[in-house]
């Protein structure tokens, strides 16, 4: 309706009438204004910024044959979404892509776009980037304003210790917010085995489920720039951080080549073999599990 030049106030009034009262909309007028404002802001990437970014991607792909990038435009030919990764990201994914984390909680640019890093863990238990995407909006933005809802949702994902605990907590949320008929939430419930730790504790996670892992990435992204930074500058800063991460990995590779892990159980052939095969960090994990 807004795209048809109907005011936000009139659009909400119409929806309130259709829903037989504002109490049945599950959002207030401020939410509507905020949502429309975010959508407008998302699609208005400065032409100069967009041109600089596209030129940079094209130049990189000409220099690096394996550099990949993709951009989606809106009806006005403005950037909505984009993704990129270099050759090293592809190699890292082939080696360490058993577990992949995609976090869409970051908005660190002047267009309020969602920053979505693709993160894994390497053979030294260091975070490694597989690629980076920016997206213009989320599927369900009208659920984002309630802090209690966010708290409960985070509990479903990471803190329910059992399937029974998940079911009880889920029912509390559905009843508290009267969401039994919510299509998106009902779909997420059918997919709960894929995203809730309560149903996936038996799966290999390489430590990515730890809160500290997300916090490390969060800190890194915040260092890339303020909320006023352009997309082009953000990408340049991101590549500097990625270069530093790769330098640390190389330094650890060198350390593993020149240092010998101390074999705590001298007569244990398995641990002797592990000391020659695994990195120092992974070997320490094996020792701890052996002792435990």
In the three-class reduction of DSSP (H, G, I as helix; E, B as strand; rest coil), residue 99 is classed as coil
Q: What is the number of residues in the chain? A: 292
Spatial CA neighbour of 45 closest among 228, 225, 229, 231: 231
Q: Pseudo-torsion of CA 225, 228, 231, 237, nearest 10°?
A: -20
- CA 117-43-62 angle, 5° bins: 55
| CA distance readout (Å), 201 to 160, 163, 206, 215 | 10, 10, 12, 21
Q: First CA to last CA across the chain, in angstroms?
A: 63
Mean pLDDT by 10 residues, the chain (292 residues): 78 89 85 73 66 91 92 77 93 91 70 83 92 73 60 73 86 85 88 81 66 63 70 88 93 89 70 84 79 57
The pLDDT, as a whole number, for residue 141 is 45
**How many of the other CB atoms lie within 10 Å of CB of 176?**
11
pLDDT, residue 56, reads 92
What pLDDT score does 42 carry? Answer: 47
What local confidence, expressed as pLDDT, does residue 253 receive?
Answer: 94
Nearest to 55 by CA among 74, 69, 66: 69
CA distances from 118 to 79, 133, 195, 253, 259 (A): 20, 8, 16, 23, 32
114/105 Cα distance (integer angstroms):
7
């Amino acid at each position: 309706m807004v795209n048809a030049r109907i005011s936000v106030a009139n659009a909400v009034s119409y929806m309130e009438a259709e829903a037989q009262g504002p109490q049945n909309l599950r959002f207030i007028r401020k939410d509507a204004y905020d949502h429309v404002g975010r959508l407008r802001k998302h699609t208005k990437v400065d032409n100069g910024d967009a041109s600089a970014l596209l030129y940079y991607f094209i130049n990189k792909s000409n220099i690096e044959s394996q550099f990949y990038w993709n951009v989606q435009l809106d009806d006005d030919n403005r950037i909505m979404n984009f993704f990129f990764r270099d050759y090293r990201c592809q190699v890292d994914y082939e080696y360490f892509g058993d577990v992949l984390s995609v976090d869409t909680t970051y908005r660190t640019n002047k267009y309020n776009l969602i920053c979505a890093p693709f993160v894994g863990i390497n053979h030294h238990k260091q975070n490694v980037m597989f690629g980076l995407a920016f997206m213009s909006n989320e599927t369900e933005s009208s659920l984002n304003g309630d802090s209690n809802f966010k708290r409960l949702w985070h509990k479903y994902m990471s803190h329910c210790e059992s399937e029974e605990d998940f079911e009880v907590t889920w029912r509390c949320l559905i009843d508290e917010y009267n969401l039994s008929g919510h299509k998106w939430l009902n779909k997420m419930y059918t997919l709960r085995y894929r995203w809730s730790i309560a149903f996936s504790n038996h799966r290999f996670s390489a430590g990515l489920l730890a809160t500290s892992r997300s916090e490390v990435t969060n800190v890194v992204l915040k260092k890339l720039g303020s909320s006023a930074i352009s997309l082009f500058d953000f990408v340049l800063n991101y590549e500097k951080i990625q270069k530093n991460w790769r330098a640390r990995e190389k330094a650890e590779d060198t350390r593993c080549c020149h240092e010998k892990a101390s074999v705590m159980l001298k007569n244990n052939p398995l641990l002797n073999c592990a000391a020659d095969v695994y990195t120092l960090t992974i070997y320490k994990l094996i020792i701890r599990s052996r002792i435990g």
